[in-house]
């Protein structure tokens, strides 16, 4: 290898390693938790780590419904099996290998098609999406590394390498199917007579089909069918979600090579119009095909989705700006500054969760702790014995509730107790970049939090707090669901207030009521919507059934028992229904709507 090429190769390796070594201790973030959960399950069933179950946003879910095949879970399963346990440094050291593979493959591809291979490769390495995604344990970086290596080997006709790499890309992400029309376009434009190439290009699709069949035979279900069920249940493919996805991905386009180089390339094309050769047309076609697939397949609009557009984009930029190394160098510097700024802000965000749990390690280790949040906060709290909060969970006096305002908190009840502040912390990165955050309009991770590629802000990204549940005696003998005191009387099974008047309940709901030692009927005012299948309502007091009513129609109902003399103190009233249902886009099991429940003096009516 000539000295110049060797020097450039070493520079590329140094940049790839340096941008990762800085973040070797990066805390657990985003979907890392779910992949690690599958790795733990994989210790008992290594062929099916994707069969893990875990609580997601308060509901038990099957990892087979996760929108990624099992390659990343297998990789983490192998690391855990090899080391017995892992630290953040160990995990990120292994994932550094994917960055190196991507860097080497990008250089090889650039050597073939770019007039400035080093600048094309460096531009990919400092892309914000590549830098930030490479510090996570999600499947995006492994998928991109294998895909890029497979495509590069395909172009060089190294089929012994292209086939396994494209197969691994298929096992890493469903979107690998997008590479098939991209490779077919290459064959149609340049090598139409290469018959084997047309077949080999289908490797990701064939791999996914074979894996689906294997899972159906060995696990009883096609993973894609399980995923489709969750997509429908959570409304992930709704039209509004697809529109937000399209808008967000369009914004991320400007940061594939960066606004500076995007402007330079556009200006050059408009002024000179002499760059429309066959290779440039193919590279542009690669980008168009993948972007079209991204619009069709994705729903969250995340920046990392566009990683497969990096290779054609950086090579095309170098070809159009051929001979203008200064412009390319400025573009690399600008991208690097943005990428590292976002990466450090991201690090500070997730480090905030880790630090909060560490500071309160002793208190968390001596109580039952419920974690009302996802991501890294949940990972570090559960490592100390914390429990995931389930939808409608009833926590008890003496419990500690760890919650986040940002990380998908869910409704829960305090079991007749009340919350007392225990600890609170605002997480505010020093870097003014915001990938996600409170009151931040950023689609970096998901378009549900905004539509801009990222935000510039000095505000907090999250507020984390721990609250102690303390016992509280009921003060009301009759509770209207819209009353301010209702929350402290609800024990379990009754959801958050809606329209200021009513609350849905699940299969059963319970409340504590004050009893005065007087004779009074128990009254329940409820509403059965037309969509609800429930027709029978059972009422219990302190575990004893006192009434049961069957209704032949929907609408507003009043259930009233005969007057009974209740002992002075408090009573646990439980309401049960015979059937529940799940509304589209709502993960809760719904029974009936409650408006009022309580003891009324006979003379009131």
The H-assigned helical ranges of 191-324 are 195-200, 203-219, 223-234, 239-252, 259-272, 278-297, 310-320
Work out the average pLDDT over 400-420. 84
Q: Which residues contact 143 (CB under 8 A, 6 or more apart)?
A: 71, 72, 169, 172, 173, 175, 176, 307
Q: Where do the structural domains in the chain lie, given as residue ranges?
A: 3-346, 362-471, 478-604
The region of weakest confidence among 160-169, 360-369, 426-435 is: 360-369
Q: Which residues contact 59 (CB under 8 A, 6 or more apart)?
A: 390, 391, 587
Q: Taking the chain, what is the end-to-end CA distance rounded to the nearest angstrom?
A: 97
pLDDT greater than 50 at residue 455: yes
Q: How many CB atoms lie within 10 A of CB 119?
A: 23
- pLDDT tens-place string over residues 531-585: 999 999 999 988 889 999 999 999 999 999 888 888 888 888 989 999 999 887 6
**Coil, strand or helix: which one is 251?**
helix
Q: What percent of the chain has pLDDT over 90?
A: 65
Closest by Cα among 325, 389, 316 to 59: 389
The H-assigned helical ranges of 300-383 are 310-320, 325-359, 361-364, 375-382
Residue bearing tokens 């049960």: 576
The region of weakest confidence among 2-16, 133-147, 180-194, 408-422 is: 408-422
In this prediction, residue 391 carries a pLDDT of 84
Work out the average pLDDT over 25-50. 93
Greater confidence (496 vs 132) lies with: 132
Is 341 in contact with 14 (CB distance < 8 Å)?
A: no
In this prediction, residue 604 carries a pLDDT of 44
The H-assigned helical ranges of 117-202 are 117-125, 128-133, 140-155, 159-172, 179-190, 195-200
Work out the average pLDDT over 488-512. 87
In this prediction, residue 516 carries a pLDDT of 85
Work out the average pLDDT over 432-436. 94
Residue 223's pLDDT band (cuts 50, 70, 90)? confident
Count, residues in the chain: 605
Greater confidence (273 vs 395) lies with: 395
The top-scoring range by mean pLDDT among 154-158, 361-365, 442-446 is 154-158
Task: State residue 166 phi and psi, 5-degree precision.
Answer: -70, -35
Residue 1's pLDDT band (cuts 50, 70, 90)? low
- Distance from C-alpha of 228 to C-alpha of 358, rounded to nearest angstrom: 38
The two structure tokens encoding residue 343: 């990466």
Task: Give the strand pairing for 400-404 and 369-372.
Answer: parallel
Residue 237's pLDDT band (cuts 50, 70, 90)? low
Work out the average pLDDT over 367-375. 91
Q: CA separation (Å) from 142 to 76, 101, 115, 243?
A: 11, 9, 27, 28
In this prediction, residue 3 carries a pLDDT of 72
- pLDDT tens-place string over residues 85-110: 889 999 999 999 999 999 999 999 99
In this prediction, residue 233 carries a pLDDT of 62
**Coil, strand or helix: which one is 495?**
strand
Look up residue 522 and give its DSSP letter: E
pLDDT greater than 50 at residue 354: yes
Is 503 in contact with 481 (CB distance < 8 Å)?
A: yes
CATH of 478-604, one of 2.60.120.260, 3.40.640.10, 3.30.470.20, 3.30.160.250: 2.60.120.260
In this prediction, residue 603 carries a pLDDT of 39
pLDDT greater than 70 at residue 234: no
Residue 261 CA neighbour count, 13 Å, CB half:
33
Work out the average pLDDT over 66-75. 90
Residue 394's pLDDT band (cuts 50, 70, 90)? confident
Q: Which residues contact 496 (CB under 8 A, 6 or more apart)?
A: 411, 503
pLDDT greater than 80 at residue 116: yes
The top-scoring range by mean pLDDT among 205-219, 386-400, 403-417 is 205-219
- pLDDT tens-place string over residues 130-163: 999 999 999 999 999 999 999 999 999 999 999 9
pLDDT greater than 70 at residue 484: yes
- The DSSP H or E segment spanning 19 is helix 3-21
Closest by Cα among 571, 569, 564, 561 to 523: 561
Residue 302's pLDDT band (cuts 50, 70, 90)? very high
Sign of the dihedral defined by the CA atoms of residues 577, 579, 581, 587, in that order: positive
Range 150-170 burial, b when 16+ CB lie within 10 A, else e:
bbbbbbeeeeebbbbbbbbbb
pTM: 0.84
In this prediction, residue 274 carries a pLDDT of 63
Residue 409's pLDDT band (cuts 50, 70, 90)? confident
Look up residue 194 and give its DSSP letter: -
pLDDT greater than 80 at residue 2: no
The two structure tokens encoding residue 557: 């109902």
Residue 605's pLDDT band (cuts 50, 70, 90)? very low
In this prediction, residue 601 carries a pLDDT of 67
Work out the average pLDDT over 278-283. 93
- The DSSP H or E segment spanning 526 is strand 522-528
């Amino acid at each position: 290898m000539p000295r110049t090429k060797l020097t450039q190769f070493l520079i590329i390796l140094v940049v790839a390693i340096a941008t990762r070594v800085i973040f070797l201790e990066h805390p657990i973030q985003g979907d890392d938790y779910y992949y690690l959960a599958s790795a733990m399950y994989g210790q008992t069933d290594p062929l099916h780590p994707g069969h893990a179950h875990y609580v997601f946003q308060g509901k038990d879910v099957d990892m087979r419904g996760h929108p990624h095949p099992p390659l990343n879970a297998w990789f983490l399963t192998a690391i855990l099996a090899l080391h017995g346990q892992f630290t953040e440094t160990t995990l990120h050291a292994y994932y550094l290998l994917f960055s190196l593979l991507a860097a080497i493959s990008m250089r090889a591809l650039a050597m073939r098609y770019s007039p400035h291979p080093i600048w094309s490769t460096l531009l990919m390495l400092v892309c914000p999406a590549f830098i930030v995604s490479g510090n996570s344990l999600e499947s995006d970086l492994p998928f991109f590394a294998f895909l890029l290596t497979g495509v590069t080997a395909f172009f060089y006709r190294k089929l012994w390498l292209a086939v396994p790499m494209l197969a691994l890309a298929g096992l890493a992400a469903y979107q690998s199917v997008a590479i098939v029309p991209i490779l077919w376009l290459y064959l149609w434009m340049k090598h139409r007579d290469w018959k084997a190439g047309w077949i080999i290009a289908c490797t990701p699709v064939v791999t996914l089909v074979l894996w689906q069949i294997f899972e159906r035979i060995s696990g009883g279900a096609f993973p894609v069918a399980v995923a489709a069920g969750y997509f429908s249940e959570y409304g992930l493919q709704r039209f509004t979600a697809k529109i937000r996805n399209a808008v967000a991905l369009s914004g991320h386009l400007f940061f594939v090579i960066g606004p500076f180089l995007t402007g330079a390339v556009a200006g050059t094309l408009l002024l000179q119009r002499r760059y429309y050769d066959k290779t440039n047309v193919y590279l542009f076609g690669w980008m168009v095909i993948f972007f079209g697939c991204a619009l069709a397949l994705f729903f969250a609009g995340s920046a990392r989705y566009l990683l497969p557009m990096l290779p054609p984009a950086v090579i095309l930029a170098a070809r159009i700006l051929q001979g203008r190394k200064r412009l390319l160098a400025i573009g690399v510097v600008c991208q690097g500054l943005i990428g590292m700024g976002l990466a450090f802000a991201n690090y500070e965000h997730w480090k905030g969760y880790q630090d909060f749990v560490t500071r309160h390690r002793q208190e968390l280790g001596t109580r039952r702790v419920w974690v009302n949040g996802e991501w890294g906060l949940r990972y570090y709290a559960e490592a100390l014995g914390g429990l995931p909060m389930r939808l409608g969970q009833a926590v008890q006096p003496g419990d500690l509730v760890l919650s986040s305002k940002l990380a998908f908190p869910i409704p829960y009840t305090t079991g007749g107790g009340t919350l007392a502040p225990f600890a609170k912390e605002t997480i505010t990165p020093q870097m003014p970049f915001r990938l996600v955050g409170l009151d931040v309009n950023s689609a970096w991770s998901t378009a549900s939090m905004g539509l801009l590629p990222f935000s510039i802000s000095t505000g907090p990204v999250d507020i984390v707090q721990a609250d102690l549940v303390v016992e509280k005696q009921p003060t009301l003998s009759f509770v209207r669901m819209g009353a301010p005191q209702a929350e402290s009387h609800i024990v379990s099974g009754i959801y958050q207030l809606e329209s200021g008047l009513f609350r849905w309940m699940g299969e059963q709901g319970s409340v504590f009521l004050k009893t005065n030692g007087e004779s009074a009927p128990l009254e329940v005012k409820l509403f059965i919507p037309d969509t609800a299948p429930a027709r029978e309502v059972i009422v219990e007091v302190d575990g004893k059934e006192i009434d049961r009513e069957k209704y032949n129609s929907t609408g507003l109902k009043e259930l009233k028992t005969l007057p009974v003399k209740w002992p002075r103190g408090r009573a646990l009233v439980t309401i049960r229904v015979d059937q529940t249902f799940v509304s589209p886009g709502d993960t809760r099991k719904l029974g009936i709507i409650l408006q009022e429940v309580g003891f009324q003096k006979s003379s009131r009516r």
